[in-house]
Amino acid sequence: MQLLLPRGRSNSSRREFLRMLFWSAGAIGASGPLLSACGDSRRPRIAVPRGRFADIGPLGEPDALGIRVPPGFSTRIVAIANQPPVPGGSYLWHIFPDGGGVMPKADGGWYYISNSEIPGFGNLGTLYPQLAPFGDVLDRFAPGLGGASVLEFAADGTVIDAYRILSGTTFNCAGCVTPWNTWLSCEEVPEGQVWECDPTGRTPAVARPTLGFFSHEATAIDVERRTIYMTEDWPDGRFFRWVASESDWPRGAARPALQDGRLQVLKILGDGVEGALHEPQPVAWIDALAPDQPQDRNRDPESTPFDGGEGLWNFNGYVYFSTKGDNRIWVYDTHRETIEVVYDFATSDNPILSGVDNITVTPQGDVLVAEDGGDMQVVVILPDGTLKPLLQITGQDQSEVAGIAFSPDGRRMYFTSDRGGPLPGGGYGPGLGITYELLLPEGL
């Protein structure tokens, strides 16, 4: 395996980019768990499969698109910002594509849903926390330029349509596809909300204020517990959950109304964060203070701060999330009500993963982590804890990898370079965003 050691880039590169962009002319204007990463010495690890990507080879030289992949893999571009994904089409793909997900269609095709992380006035608070109230007020009166769009694929993988499903929002980062076939899109600003979108575009998107007002990064849904987990991308952000009321999500109902529930924040008990670096620690959930107000100004001092909450995924009751400020991957075990760190860049024996961001978990238990900065890689954490690079985008060091999602048959993986693009003289470098497809080898 070829190990790509970090180059020591600062995890603040995205914030520096935001600061530059904000003040530029166009910034505002226009059945049973398969995987347990819990290393409790008092009990053995649960037996796990080797993982889907356990046998992939080392990354090769950059291909024609500037992407390094293992032998047998190939890549293609499916959309470029400000260009029509469908030849001859009128819809131009959005800029700064970020979090994404896939929803299958009845005819064998699928939808790839993608957020547009365009900043706005609300990002004043992201850059300068003391200006958050001022930026929030401006954001209410100036519709954001972010949102979400869809690529529609035929069963053979051909892009047959592209269209917008959410407009007028700001800095849409990640979210998730719901079990009831909608898309939750998160606004990453201090008064940000979660918007529920219809991937077909037939029904207008709806804000879900019951899920709180904060710098939303990602969501994950636990149907069994009728709970939605949420990360907050803020230097002292919290790990949230929303627990539906009995009337909002009756037992046996296909979905919640997303109108009434309790917003709560996590508190690590036991030996706290330091203890979680070594073994699982018990947790408690505390009702959020003023749940209808911006959470960055209504902190419960008893709750545990997390340094820049990012990607999030619920895998059979094991809720994985990343914190970019300290380069850690956490797992909250809903079965035992514990939390621990399963990857820590500072102490790892194999620190090839930095700038941790979007997270996706395969049915086989591979945890795929996209880098915001770092080496612009997607790194796989196998069920046994081994790390392997899955791909690396070269020549776009000021961008980030995001939007990881698999086609329904698992053969194709979509991902984005948030700030990559074609260069006038050929090749690829800085730009307004590219959406890619990774084709996996037969039999993998």
Residue 28 located in a structural domain: no
Phi-psi region of 413 (alpha: psi -120 to 50; beta: other; left: phi over 0): beta
Give the chain's domain count.
1
Residue 204 belongs to domain spanning: 34-422+431-439
Burial of 257 (0-12, 13-18, 19+ CB in 10 A): middle
What is the number of other CB atoms lying within 10 angstroms of the CB of residue 241? 23
CATH number at residue 389: 2.120.10.30
Residue 166 located in a structural domain: yes
Which tens digits make up the pLDDT trace of 367-389?
999 999 889 999 999 999 999 99
pTM equals: 0.88
Which tens digits make up the pLDDT trace of 95-127?
999 999 999 999 999 999 999 999 866 666 666
Residue 274 located in a structural domain: yes
Residue 60 located in a structural domain: yes
pLDDT(213) > 90: yes
Nearby residues of 147 by Cβ (< 8 Å), 6 or more positions away: 94, 115, 116, 164, 165, 166, 167, 168, 169, 172, 185
CA angle, residues 272, 276, 279, in degrees to nearest 5: 130
Residue 167 located in a structural domain: yes
Residue 24 located in a structural domain: no
Please list the residues that pair with 272 across neighbouring strands: none
Q: Would you state the pLDDT for residue 142? A: 66
Which tens digits make up the pLDDT trace of 59-92?
999 999 999 999 999 999 999 999 999 999 999 9
Residue 6 located in a structural domain: no
Structure tokens at 78: 């499916």
Report the C-alpha gap between 248 and 256 in whole angstroms: 5
What is the number of other CB atoms lying within 10 angstroms of the CB of residue 262? 15
Residue 444 located in a structural domain: no
Which tens digits make up the pLDDT trace of 327-346?
999 999 999 999 999 999 99
